[in-house]
Amino acid sequence: MPTTVPLNVNGRATTVEVDDPDMPLLYALRENLGLHGPRFGCGLGQCGTCTVHINGEAARSCITPLSSLSPDQRVVTLEGLGSPENPHRVQQAFIDEQAVQCGYCINGMIMQAAALLARTPKPSEAEIRDALASNICRCGTHARILRAVKRASGTA
Amino acid sequence: MITATATRRSFLGTGGSLVIGFALSGRALAQQGAAPAGPSRPAGGPAVTKSVALDDVDGFLAIGADGKVTLFSGKVDLGTGVRTALTQMAAEELDVPVERITFVQGDTALTPDQGPTYGSLSIQVGGIQIRQAAATARKQLLETAAQRLGVPAAELVVEDGTVRRRSGGPGLGYGELIGDRNFSLKVDKDVTTKDPASFRVVGQSVPRLDIPEKTTGRFTYMHDFRVDGMLHGRVVRPPALQAQLREVDESSVRNIPGFVKLVREGNFLGVIARTEWGAIRAAQELKATWSDWQGLPEQSKLWEHVRATKVTKDDVTSNVGNTKDAMGGGAKRLSATYDFAIHTHGSLGPSCAVAEIRDGKLTCWSASQMTHNLRKQIAAMMRMPEEQVRCIYLEGSGCYGRNGHEDAAGDAALLTRAMDGRPVRVQWARQDEHGWDPKGPPTLIDLRAALDAQGNIIAWESEFFIPQGAAGNVALVPAELAGLPHEESMAPGNIIQNSALPYAVPNINTVCHRLENTLFKPSWIRTPGRMQNTYANESFLDELAAAAGVDPLDFRLRHLKDERGVELLRRLAVLSRWESRPSPQRNTTGNVAKGRGVSYVKYELNRTYVGAVAEVEVNRDSGEIRVTRFSVVHDCGQVINPDGVRNQVEGNVLHTISRTLKEELTWDRSMVTSLDWGTYPVITFPEVPVIDIDLLDRPGEKPWGAGEPSAAVIPSAISNAVFDATGVRLRSVPFTPPRVKAAMQQAT
């Protein structure tokens, strides 16, 4: 039987109809809500492409069952962070540093970095590297990503 | 949308072919995939018959009445930035701003077949074709304007897509001159293209056109593409490479919410559901019985297996002088064997495709690097005429060669057929990608050489043990599993390249022993063959330098008779603050040894030059190698977008450090066992070195490729740096801590 699950996504209260309340959040965001920011990469929590913020903390939506969320938990995706017209400072820094190749990992990189900077506004380079250590990039964009995060934190 | 109306609005060109109306559709086409309804789906009306001929200007370019330009490119952006670079090349020749150009890529109904997007040829070949088409178009536009304005073309100038007299006055916009009509003109290969001295857009680091959307979630990747009424499919691959499907129990998944259908065709097995999660659950929970198959050799005996594989032919890639005699006369003789592990593409976004069949026509959206070839493969597999198949490219996650996208497209084609043409999206799971994408084959290399009394190389012999075959179509997995028509021969890529040397050696013989088969279906992964071959050549050259007691960079210069190469290496010495001395370094005390190594390549011996210096720290206790800095000098001739090239060089360095230090496929007797990122580790942020790049720009020269060449030098530079640090030579990629420790123990 379909279940209605209330969610708070990008500042708006909404609901999704799902067959299985244990379905990971990723599929609700992508399939039910049509969002493109969080991406499917492994479904195992290993690569970080699916990263979103839940109450401001970076979380892997591919291994976060809907049933583990309460309606008041605030989910924010890459779209909720900013837009091409009004980008978040981390997004702007990635644009300024041209820190993208294919860009498939970039959702995770930006979301992870934004969560880091919210907690630690002026991280050291080692702290940035540690924060992104479990986010995989296959194209080899790491050097630019590090520059972008430093730029966003004003430590470049 | 390309509607019947839009199509009929178009004009009959003089050639009589019906073209789509660009004023309306140019922009709509650009958004292919951007809207859920799929704006470029073939409509029920007349077929889209825009010219896709390689020798037609109309194949590449269309200009609307509003002066907007649509560029149709058969080369696609795999995340390398060629969309921006190719747009720059067209903008430069046409004298229109980059923003006025819409880029349509890899659509078999709309774009010319410029060959697969591989081999670092998008700019070098594809870009030149576009440049010539644009220059031919511009010439005709000027001539038309000259007639209308009643002045010779030589007195006209173009600015922002408007032609006017050099002396000023009112002009004619491209939209007025050609808007919505065909050029009906052959591409003039001898057309005069712009003098590089007057370039305004080419050579500039124009910001990539896709990045604002990619950083904000607005971009539509293949994986985001949706079609109305679309179902979700997953494949269920055999647990062993050649296992046969005995039985499948549909009742095991029938009650999963959203389950729609089980599809079985030979050993091809797939599930279809209303929701993606339903498809995932069905694929996971499906009960199927397969035959046992254990035909793979043991991983620990890989190299014995390779050496024992039947050689079907020898490709002699260079043969000068008489190595046998010269070898005997040498003052010092060396020999060594190098090997390079099997690698997976490991695309970050597992392969994905959507297919549908409408009115007997199959449309497939895919992130394939070769949609034109894919079209042929799908048509063959489906036993459909090629004209009834259309493949449309949508960007996927980074593609470094022939990975799983084409196979997923084949999967989607079989699943949509099973649903009477209803659109089906196939998304591979991580394990499908790691398990079933084709692999970079294992490479084994024997080398022998002799030095004369002065330390010059007088003889060089090498033997490369690599699978037979060249570039071509890699058979579709679903066609193989389902027993449908597919290619029978292997296509590992042109992997004999760079087996010969870029150096002047008086007696040389290099031969590739082409093996009858290899363990896993091979394909090309970034820098195929060129990487493995350069790794062996440049590491062994380093051994010779050490044996001669000569600084390794000087040793290379001594044997290099190519002025551009010499200049490159001299600049590399400056960039890397190279200290001239023989390797290994003298100070071998302490727990952490530091060293530096150099490597050089002239890609395929006829284009892009790259030199690199790696700086490493080797932990003698743990065997861990840390690459601390890479210095790279890169000469690909004329640079279209400097920052784009730097991005590619950085990517090559980091991707290849990953491959050199960490990546290695693992398997048991049945199947790949490295099926996720835990079992197939790759480079992480703490391991990223500083990268210094000196990018040579030679605007007066031809533009050469940059997507792969700099990867070729990375493994050898690291191997040579480790030798410099420790005096221990690493000859087996990847250089994992256990291998490094074992090599160090062996050396003591």
- Domain shared by A41 and A96, yes or no: no
- Domain shared by A76 and A108, yes or no: no
Number of A/B CB contacts below 8 angstroms equals: 190
Whole-number pLDDT of residue B748: 74
Nearest CA in chain B to A30: B224
Asked which of A80, A107, A142 is the last residue of a domain, the reply is A80
Nearest CA in chain B to A23: B277
Quick check: B24 pLDDT over 60?
Answer: no
Q: Kind and range of the H or E element at B334?
A: strand B332-340
What is the domain-level CATH number for residue A20?
A: 3.10.20.30
Q: How far apart are CA A58 and CA B136, in angstroms?
A: 52
- Domain shared by A135 and A70, yes or no: no
Query: Which among A35, A43, A146 has CB closest to B429?
Result: A43
Query: Which among B216, B427, B651 has CB closest to A139?
Result: B651
Q: Do A79 and B218 touch (CB under 8 A)?
A: yes
pLDDT in tens, B235-293: 999 999 999 999 999 999 999 999 999 999 999 999 999 999 999 999 999 999 999 99
Residue in the block written with tokens 């100038």: B157
Phi, psi of B401 (to 5 degrees): 150, -165
Whole-number pLDDT of residue B747: 83
Whole-number pLDDT of residue B687: 98
Note whether B472 and B406 are within 8 A (CB): no
Whole-number pLDDT of residue B323: 97
Whole-number pLDDT of residue B14: 28
- The structure's pTM equals 0.95
Helix axes A142-152, A106-119, angle to 10 degrees: 30
If you write DSSP's letter for every residue of A32-92 in order, what string do you get?
Answer: IS---SS--S-SSSSS-TTEEEETTEEEEGGG-BGGG--TTSEEE-HHHH--SSS--HHHH
Quick check: B677 pLDDT over 90?
Answer: yes
- Give the DSSP letter of residue B142: H
Residue-range definition of the domain harbouring residue A11? 3-80
Query: Which among A36, A82, A130 has CB closest to B220?
Result: A36
The top-level CATH class assigned to B440-747 is alpha beta
Q: How far apart are CA B417 and CA B424, in angstroms?
A: 9
C-alpha count within 13 angstroms, C-beta hemisphere, residue B309: 24
Quick check: B484 pLDDT over 80?
Answer: yes
B440-747 and B4-214 share a CATH fold:
yes
Q: Do A84 and B216 touch (CB under 8 A)?
A: yes
Q: How confident is the model at residue B505 (pLDDT cuts 50, 70, 90)?
A: very high
Q: Do A98 and B647 touch (CB under 8 A)?
A: yes
Q: How confident is the model at residue B319 (pLDDT cuts 50, 70, 90)?
A: very high
Whole-number pLDDT of residue B246: 98
**B748 or A18: which leads in pLDDT:** A18
What is the domain-level CATH number for residue A122?
A: 1.10.150.120
Phi, psi of A105 (to 5 degrees): -85, -15
For residue B660, the chain A residues in CB contact (below 8 A) are none
Contact status of B219 with chain A (Cβ, < 8 Å): yes
CA distance B278 to chain A (A): 8
Nearest CA in chain B to A42: B430
| CA diameter of chain A | 53
For residue A49, the chain B residues in CB contact (below 8 A) are 348-349
Of all residues in chain B, the percent with pLDDT exceeding 70 is 93
Query: How distant, in Å, are the alpha carbons of A90, A133, B79 from that of B682?
Result: 25, 11, 19
For residue A79, the chain B residues in CB contact (below 8 A) are 216-218
Contact status of B658 with chain A (Cβ, < 8 Å): yes
Q: Do B215 and A87 touch (CB under 8 A)?
A: yes
Q: Do B212 and A81 touch (CB under 8 A)?
A: no
**B568 or B4: which leads in pLDDT:** B568
pLDDT in tens, B592-617: 999 999 999 999 999 999 999 999 99
Quick check: B26 pLDDT over 90?
Answer: no
Whole-number pLDDT of residue B589: 77
pLDDT in tens, B207-229: 999 999 999 999 999 999 999 99
Q: Do A46 and B676 touch (CB under 8 A)?
A: yes
Mutate to test the interface with B, among A139, A144, A146 (most CBs of B within 10 A): A139
- Domain shared by A75 and A86, yes or no: no
Q: How confident is the model at residue B46 (pLDDT cuts 50, 70, 90)?
A: very low
Mutate to test the interface with A, among B204, B215, B437, B682 (most CBs of A within 10 A): B215
Whole-number pLDDT of residue B587: 78
Rounded to an integer, the average pLDDT of B163-169 is 93
Q: How far apart are CA B499 and CA B536, in angstroms?
A: 9
Whole-number pLDDT of residue A155: 85
Contact status of B577 with chain A (Cβ, < 8 Å): no
Q: Do A101 and B651 touch (CB under 8 A)?
A: yes
Phi, psi of B637 (to 5 degrees): 75, -135
Quick check: B47 pLDDT over 80?
Answer: no
pLDDT in tens, A78-119: 999 999 999 999 999 999 999 999 999 999 999 999 999 999
Q: Do A102 and B211 touch (CB under 8 A)?
A: no
Q: Do B396 and A104 touch (CB under 8 A)?
A: yes
Rounded to an integer, the average pLDDT of B356-378 is 98
Q: How confident is the model at residue B38 (pLDDT cuts 50, 70, 90)?
A: very low
Quick check: B3 pLDDT over 50?
Answer: no
> What's chain B's average pLDDT?
93
Q: Do B208 and A139 touch (CB under 8 A)?
A: no
Mutate to test the interface with A, among B117, B232, B253, B348 (most CBs of A within 10 A): B348
Query: How distant, in Å, are the alpha carbons of A62, A97, A136, B93, B682 from that of A105?
Result: 14, 16, 7, 34, 14
CA distance A40 to chain B (A): 7
Residue in the block written with tokens 């090309």: B524
Whole-number pLDDT of residue A1: 76
Residue A40 CB contacts under 8 Å (≥ 6 apart), including other chains = A26, A30, A49, A50, A62, B223, B349, B350, B427
- Size of chain B, expressed as the number of residues it contains: 748
Hey, what long-range contacts does B197-200 have (CB within 8 A, 24 or more apart)? B197/B699, B199/B92, B199/B699, B200/B92
Which two tokens mark B683?
């480079």
- Domain shared by A87 and A70, yes or no: no
Q: How far apart are CA B703 and CA B35, in angstroms?
A: 36
Rounded to an integer, the average pLDDT of B670-687 is 98
Which two tokens mark B667?
């398997």
The top-level CATH class assigned to B222-292+346-437 is alpha beta
Contact status of B278 with chain A (Cβ, < 8 Å): yes
- Domain shared by A7 and A72, yes or no: yes
Note whether A43 and A63 are within 8 A (CB): yes
Q: Do A140 and B653 touch (CB under 8 A)?
A: yes
Quick check: B643 pLDDT over 70?
Answer: yes
Contact status of B224 with chain A (Cβ, < 8 Å): yes
Contact status of B282 with chain A (Cβ, < 8 Å): no
The top-level CATH class assigned to B4-214 is alpha beta
ipTM of the complex: 0.98
Break chain B into its structural domains and give their ranges.
Answer: 4-214, 222-292+346-437, 440-747
pLDDT in tens, B692-748: 999 999 999 999 999 999 999 999 999 999 999 999 999 999 999 999 999 999 887
Sign of the dihedral defined by the CA atoms of residues B512, B664, B78, B19, in that order? positive
Residue in the block written with tokens 């493969």: B377
Contact status of B11 with chain A (Cβ, < 8 Å): no
Domain count, chain A: 2
Identity of the amino acid at B268: F
CA distance A73 to chain B (A): 21
Q: Do B215 and A110 touch (CB under 8 A)?
A: yes
Contact status of B351 with chain A (Cβ, < 8 Å): no
Contact status of B346 with chain A (Cβ, < 8 Å): yes
Nearest CA in chain B to A94: B215
Residue B554 CB contacts under 8 Å (≥ 6 apart), including other chains = B580
